[in-house]
Amino acid sequence: MKHTSSAVLKVFLSVAVFALTVVTNLPAQATEKVIYTFSGGADGGEPESGLISDSKGNLYGTTGAGGGSSCSCGTVYELSPGSNGTWTEKVIYAFSGSSNDGIFPFGSLVFDGKGNLYGTTVLGGPTFGGTIFELIAGSNGTWTENILYNFAGADGSEPYAALIFDSSGNLYGTTLSGGTYGFGTVFELVSGSNGTWTEKVLHSFTGGNDGANPDGPLIFDGVGRLYGTTTSAGPHDYGAVFELTPGSKGWTEKIIYALPGAGGSGPFDGLIFDSASKLYGTSATTVFELTPGPNGTWTENTIHTFLGGRDGAYAESGLILDKAGRLFGTTYTGGAHYGTVYELRPGSDDTWTETVLHRFAAGTGDGVFPGPASLVQDTRRNLYGTTSQGGTAGAGVVYEIAP
């Protein structure tokens, strides 16, 4: 797990042990299958990113370790489906560890309209502040890497999260640290002529009421505002949900929800919208809903609180929403102590019912410790995700959950 402090994790593990005596009847309702096990070597290891898919059903992701023989600096990989439920992994890029390359890609990838891939590395580059890279699709399955930007510190450092595009082809993201005050940034990368890109810091977090250390991706609303989360600081010092509004003099940040601590803290991933413009996200112990009101106000409703036992504990990952309005996510621990995949189904009177779809189990070849990135769902309603550890080599797996 990339950022969780040992003190916080100890609290949740102790809660998990207690809650095993409280929650006794949450049966799994789906079938899990490991579709790829990483060796930790040339094929990669310790995948923490989520997956994305192309039109052919191939899956793409990153690993934070493994790769080249001289540097276990991480990879970008492709998983291709075959007959009889088999999958074939191919490393399409292994990071070299040189001063001209990034290392440790923890965030998920994003496609552009031409099928090229974009992502971030936490470290690397000339000043070791992390990079933004592009992988250009060529013929015969080849890919060519191009570094679009190297972070230097004042402009941001340690970009963990996935990037997003706007309608003009510009990229937006967050850095965990760096910026004017050292507490992270929201940035824009503007596409120029001849393949050049220019970075602009939209907001530098102060570490005070505006939040600190954003770890998740951003999301746009319909009028061009950006939304995201910070893992710490904010009005109650337990993290926050923020809104960034563009204007003639730049972008203005506003906190729309401050995590209260007792009811959740430390959101580590991003947010999603539903068709009613409600936002959904996760904290360490809750899944929350934010409903927009008049004059830019937002109302929070906690739709699920994890007990820390068989229903899951430490909800690091973000959520996805299906066409039926159901939410899906993962917890890093809980279940059988090694994490869960869960579903939240909406009911009447704003109630939600949790079903645990899978509990990860050590020593069985299964993965352990899923996330922290979101799941992805295919057209047949199968869910796909990664675990950072577990599998026969202990280096993590890619798994499929069939309904």
Q: What is the DSSP letter of 109?
A: P
Q: For residue 241, which of 293, 283, 182 has the smallest C-alpha distance? A: 283
Domain residues of the chain, as ranges? 306-403
Measured CA to CA in angstroms, residue 241 lies from 5, 88, 120, 254, 396 at distances of 21, 39, 22, 9, 30
Per-residue model confidence as pLDDT tens for the chain (403 residues): 454 433 333 333 333 332 332 233 344 568 999 999 999 999 999 999 999 999 999 999 999 999 977 899 999 999 999 988 899 999 999 999 888 999 999 999 999 999 999 999 999 999 999 999 999 999 888 999 999 999 999 999 999 999 999 999 999 999 999 999 999 999 999 998 888 999 999 999 999 999 999 999 999 999 999 999 999 999 999 999 999 999 999 999 999 999 998 767 889 999 999 999 999 999 999 999 999 999 999 999 999 999 999 999 999 999 999 999 999 999 999 998 899 999 999 998 889 999 999 999 999 999 999 988 899 999 999 999 999 999 999 999 999 999 8
Q: Is the separation of the CB atoms in 387 and 372 below 8 Å? A: no
- For the segment 320-347, what is each residue's pLDDT rounded down to a tens digit? 999 999 999 999 999 988 999 999 999 9
Of 80, 192, 217, 102, nearest to 151 (Cα)?
102
13/16 Cα distance (integer angstroms): 5
pTM of the model: 0.92
pLDDT tens-digit profile of 221-263? 999 999 999 999 999 999 999 999 999 999 999 999 999 987 6
Please say whether the dihedral angle defined by the alpha carbons of residues 271, 326, 53 and 386, taken in this order, is positive or negative.
positive
Among candidate residues 312, 311, 256, the one with its CA nearest the CA of residue 279: 256
